[in-house]
Structure formats: C-alpha cells, structure tokens
Amino acid sequence: MSEFDRNVVRAQEYLKRFRGKTVSHLIGGKHESGNGATFETLSPVDNSVLAKVARGTRAEIDRAAEAGKRAFASWRKTSGEKRRDIMHQIADAIEARAEEIALVECMDTGQPIRYMSKAALRGAENFRFYADRAPEAADGLSLPTGTHLNYTIREPIGPVGVITPWNTPFMLSTWKIAPALAAGCTVVHKPAEWSPLTASLLAEIALEAGLPAGVLNVVHGFGEDAGRALTEHPDIKAIGFVGETTTGSAIMAQGSQTLKRVHFELGGKNPVIVFDDADLERALDAVLFMIYSLNGERCTSSSRALVHASIYKEFSAKAAERVKKIRVGHPLDPGTEIGPLIHPRHVEKVLSYVDAARSAGATVAAGGIRSSLGDNYVEPTLYTGAHNSMKIAQEEIFGPVLTMIPFADEQEALSIANDVRYGLTAYIWTRDVGRAHRVAQSVEAGMVWVNSENVRHLPTPFGGVKNSGIGRDGGDYSFDFYMETKNIAIALGDHKISRLGV
Ligand code: NAD
C-alpha cells in the first residue's frame, strides 16, 4: 500500500468519530451541543460534509465564560510547577495523537500532509515551551528607593477569549492557548467555522491529560454570533485574535464597551526583496517556498517579490518555470505541494484577482486557473510585470499567488516595500551586509528575515505593525498580554508624610 493510500485509510478511520454525529462544544469539562443548531464543515478535497458542528450563540458563550470564571479562581492559584507538569502532559498527549491531528487537519483544511505532519508536533512544542516558563510567569522587578521597596509581580488577567482562523488552526490555537494557560488564565476558544475539528481534539486531549474542567472551553459557531458574544462578554478580560484586518477592527469596536484588552495578528502583504548581489538560487527557493507552501494561506507569506531590475527578466522566467511544475494534489498525498483551497468562496476570491491583474496590465506568467482536479484546486499563480499600485500588489489574496515587481535601486525597493497598509514580515536577500541592515531597519514590518525563509524561534517576538496587528506573541511577550503587572511599595521606615489639618 502506498503512503498516500495508507493516509487515506487512516484518515477515514479518524474521521469516523465525527461522521453522523454533532461535534460538540466543551464547556466546564462537559461535551454539549447547546441549543441543537448546527452547521456543516466541508472537506476542501471534494466539498463533501465531514461533520455537523454545534452552532454556539450568546447562551453557550455565557456558560463557557461562567465556567472559565469559576475555574479561574483555582487555576490562578495552582502553582506554576503544577501548571508546568499538566502542560507537559498535554504535550505528551498531543504527540501521542500527532498522526490523528495531522490527518484530520489535512481533511478539514486542505493543507498538504507534507506540512501538516509536523503541525501537531509544533503544537506540542508550543505547550512545552510555555510549560517550562509557567513557574516564572509571575516574576517581577525589584525597584528600591531610599525610603521604599517597590517590587512588581504579574498576575493572570482573568478568563480570556481566543479567536482563531481556518488556515493552520491546530498550530495557531496552541500558540495562543499555551501561554494563556501558563500565565494562569482560563480560556474560551472560538475556532474558525471552516475548519473546527482539531480544536475539539485539542480540548479533549487537554481535559484527558489532566487540565481541570473549565480551564479550556471551546464554543463552536460563527463569528457574527458566538465570536461577537465572546468579544462583548464582561467576564472575558482580553481577546487574543488571529484573522483578517477588517475582523480585527470589528472586534475592537465590539470590545470597547467592556474595555477589552486586545492582541491582534492580522493580514499581510509581505515583501521579499531580492537584490542582484544575492545568492539567487537560494533566494528563488525561499521566494517560492514562502508563498506556495501551506497553499499560500499563510499570513507570513512572501506575496510580493520585489526583484532588482537588472536580474528581473531571468529571475521571473526561472520562477515561472518552477511554478508551473509545483505539484497540485490531494492533501494526503505526500508528493502534493499545493492542496485544495479551504472553501469555494475562498477559491472565488483568489480567482477574482486574475481579471483584475490582466486588466491592470500585469502578465499571468503561470496559473490563474482552476486545476482539473476539482472545484477547490487552483493552479499556483505568478503575476509578473506588475506595479505596486495594482490590486494584486496591495490586497491580501491569501492563496498560492505571487506578484513580482521590478525595482531600480535600494531606495525604490524600500519605498515599494513600505507602500502597503500592512506590515507583518519582510524578507531581504543580499550579500551586502550594510545594505541588509539598512533595509531591515527601514522596512515597515514587525519581523524581518535576511537571507532566510521564515524560521521561527519561540522566544522571539512575533507580530506586525500598521494594519497587520497589535502586540507581540512569543517568549515573555505573551505574558505581557495575558497578565497584569502590579507594583507593591513597602515603606522601609518613617518617611516624611505631610500633616494636614493639624
Ligand atoms: P476571519 O477574520 O474571517 O476569521 C477569523 C476568526 O474570527 C474566525 O474564527 C471567525 O469566526 C471570527 N470572527 C469573524 N467575525 C467576527 C466578529 N465580528 N467577532 C468575533 N469573531 C469574529 O479570518 P480567516 O478568513 O479565518 O483567516 C484568514 C486571515 O487570517 C488572513 O487575513 C490572514 O492573514 C490572517 N492570519 C493572520 C496571522 C498572523 O499571525 N498575523 C496568522 C494566520 C492568519
């Protein structure tokens, strides 16, 4: 049996538990389907129904927030060492079910197994990383004066809401939930409605691994009802959100009445700048990988390649040749490099840019069409001869679509790079050290990689500027979001107190 066939058989076994049943919420440690309303999650492979999912509303969010509030009273008092041990047990359990998580994720998102096989393991790594930091999460500073000892401590902010998108849901959820739990917060998670299955697996795994009931709650449902209710709930003290920029704006407005603290990881239109002195072979590999991996449904994708005019013709020709050879296929086939896109509505959006590109004068150097494999399969697309003012250079397409733009010199490269409303990541390819630093410091982005693809190191800050986000994840930065810093001042003696009314 080929590995592909084996994956298909195994995936069907894992999906059996969802078929014909309603995927439930997990509230206060209990699986429940709430009001009985459901929605369907489709497999991008053929748009068949994978499962019915409970459709939560304000009532379920209210119960989940109540459960989170009750559990917070004891979870915040649970020692950091105990929280660490439980989180390591969760990581062990994730690893033990890594194959199940990976295959279910592929079938629910359309992401190729070559990337998803590691998604569960990366999720486990996120749990381990923050487990080890749980004992020091409350640490603060000593700020003494002659008369007082000032010291700070950090306290968990309270029950928090986590709202996640559909592109790589398992990995992204752990990235938000693990630091919240390590900080001592409890969580109500509202996963994306287009790929909800692995969120249920995570909550179930955490509960079975020993996380007390109510510490992690999951409410499925749509953004406009369950999501909205979560952001408006008075007992939810903060919202960690990953998704579109426009949704971030809506959440900020919805949370304003309850003065919600927000952390936003939003969209991107990230530039990769290739100078003519770069290692062009490696640069080409990285340019292609960073946009065509994960179906291009990746916030950090290099969706705009800015290429030095002197090498533009050759570089774009080589890129087109490679793009045409990228293998589109079934997500469970280990040979597949691009799988089906998440949903017919998303396919429509991605393909809507082809006419816009042509009529603006760009060249469709590869792709621009549906693949013959099925409705959600799109051929990897490369637009060349583009200008930065075109829609294909300004808007986040969030698919396997690269826009290639020439530039004359360093100054022009920078001004094109910065001429978008987003600022998540930037990638720079050059052998000139001075130029690498100059451009890295002037480009408007939260994260910059030089001569590198996106290699994540968990202690480093992750986040964007401009319309790409607010706040940073990673290392201790996450604790700044999930915790409040309290200053305590102790008088060391009889400092002078002015006497009034004597
Ligand atoms: P989306 O904004 O449509 O949805 C994200 C989540 O928000 C979903 O769970 C949805 O139900 C919920 N939601 C929608 N409306 C809401 C509302 N009014 N109130 C509360 N919740 C609401 O995003 P998507 O289409 O699922 O994901 C794609 C987007 O996510 C892209 O823009 C991508 O760049 C971004 N993204 C960013 C990062 C990052 O780290 N910066 C990572 C991954 C994805």
Q: Per-residue pLDDT tens for 193-223?
A: 999 999 999 999 999 999 999 999 999 999 9
Query: Is there a domain that residue 30 lies in?
Result: yes
**Bridge partners, 308 (sequence order):** 407
Distance of CA 157 to the CA centre of its chain: 22
pLDDT (0 to 100) of residue 182: 98
Q: Is 161 in the pocket of ligand 1 (CB under 6 A)?
A: no
- Give, rounded to a whole angstrom, the gap between the first and last alpha carbons of the chain: 94
Q: Is 154 in the pocket of ligand 1 (CB under 6 A)?
A: no
Q: Distance between CA atoms of 200 and 191, rounded to whole angstroms?
A: 9
Query: Is there a domain that residue 492 lies in?
Result: no
* Ligand 1, atom 38, residue with closest C-alpha: 299
Query: Is there a domain that residue 499 lies in?
Result: no
User: What's the gap in Å between 236 CA and the centre of ligand 1?
Assistant: 19
**The residue to which tokens 């068949």 are assigned:** 48
pLDDT (0 to 100) of residue 267: 97
Q: Which residues are annotated as catalytic?
A: 265, 299
Q: Is 167 in the pocket of ligand 1 (CB under 6 A)?
A: yes
User: What's the gap in Å between 251 CA and the centre of ligand 1?
Assistant: 10
Q: Is 299 in the pocket of ligand 1 (CB under 6 A)?
A: yes
* Ligand 1, atom 9, residue with closest C-alpha: 192
**The residue to which tokens 């979560």 are assigned:** 230
Is residue 52 predicted with pLDDT exceeding 90?
yes
Cα-based angle 251, 40, 120 (whole degrees, multiple of 5): 70
Residue 374 CA: distances (Å) to CA of 107, 252, 336, 378: 15, 38, 15, 9
Same domain, 275 and 262: no
Q: At what angle do helices 169-183 and 98-109 cross, to 10 degrees?
A: 130
Phi, psi of 4 (to 5 degrees): -60, -50
Q: pLDDT tens digits for 378-410?
A: 999 999 999 999 999 999 999 999 999 999 999
What is the rounded average pLDDT of the residues 86-109?
A: 98
Same domain, 118 and 224: yes
Same domain, 103 and 146: yes
Q: Is residue 142 classed as helix, strand or coil in its secondary structure?
A: strand
H/E run at residue 125: helix 119-133
Same domain, 190 and 219: yes
Domains held by the chain: number:
2
The fraction of the chain above a pLDDT of 70, given in percent, is 100
Q: pLDDT tens digits for 281-322?
A: 999 999 999 999 999 999 999 999 999 999 999 999 999 999
282 neighbors 436 (Cβ within 8 angstroms): no
Same domain, 115 and 262: yes
Q: Is residue 449 classed as helix, strand or coil in its secondary structure?
A: strand
Same domain, 235 and 359: no
Query: Is there a domain that residue 498 lies in?
Result: no
What is the rounded average pLDDT of the residues 484-490?
A: 98
CATH number of the domain within which 377 lies: 3.40.309.10
pLDDT (0 to 100) of residue 49: 96
User: What's the gap in Å between 167 CA and the centre of ligand 1?
Assistant: 9
User: What's the gap in Å between 224 CA and the centre of ligand 1?
Assistant: 12
Same domain, 253 and 283: no
Q: Is 399 in the pocket of ligand 1 (CB under 6 A)?
A: no
Is residue 20 predicted with pLDDT exceeding 90?
no
Q: Which atom of ligand 1 is nearest to the CA of 346?
A: 25
What is the rounded average pLDDT of the residues 328-347?
A: 98
Same domain, 165 and 309: no
Same domain, 319 and 282: yes
Query: Is there a domain that residue 461 lies in?
Result: no
Residue whose CB lies within 8 A of the most ligand 1 atoms, among 163, 177, 270, for a mutation test: 163
Cα-based angle 372, 375, 376 (whole degrees, multiple of 5): 105
Q: Is 36 left (phi over 0), alpha (psi -120 to 50) or beta?
A: left
Nearest CA to 290 out of 366, 401, 422, 195 is that of: 401
User: What's the gap in Å between 67 CA and the centre of ligand 1?
Assistant: 25
Q: Is 397 in the pocket of ligand 1 (CB under 6 A)?
A: no
Q: Which atom of ligand 1 is nearest to the CA of 468?
A: 41
Average pLDDT, the chain: 98
What is the strand order of the sheet 425-429 is part of? 363-366, 381-384, 401-407, 304-308, 271-274, 425-429, 447-450
Global pTM? 0.98
Query: Is there a domain that residue 305 lies in?
Result: yes
Nearest CA to 460 out of 471, 447, 444 is that of: 447
Give me the domain span that covers residue 143: 3-266+468-487
Compute the half-sphere exposure of residue 91: CA atoms within 13 Å on the CB side of its CA: 22
Q: Is 328 in the pocket of ligand 1 (CB under 6 A)?
A: no
What is the rounded average pLDDT of the residues 150-158?
A: 98
Query: Is there a domain that residue 16 lies in?
Result: yes
Same domain, 21 and 70: yes
CATH number of the domain within which 143 lies: 3.40.605.10
Query: Is there a domain that residue 110 lies in?
Result: yes
**Bridge partners, 447 (sequence order):** 425
pLDDT (0 to 100) of residue 45: 98
Q: At what angle do helices 119-133 and 98-109 cross, to 10 degrees?
A: 120
Query: Which residues contact residue 369 at a Cβ distance below 8 angstroms, ignoring those fewer than 6 apart?
Result: 351, 354, 378, 379
Same domain, 301 and 386: yes
Q: Distance between CA atoms of 454 and 25, rounded to whole angstroms?
A: 34
Nearest CA to 445 out of 482, 418, 415 is that of: 418
Q: Is 396 in the pocket of ligand 1 (CB under 6 A)?
A: yes
Same domain, 309 and 222: no
User: What's the gap in Å between 207 CA and the centre of ligand 1?
Assistant: 26
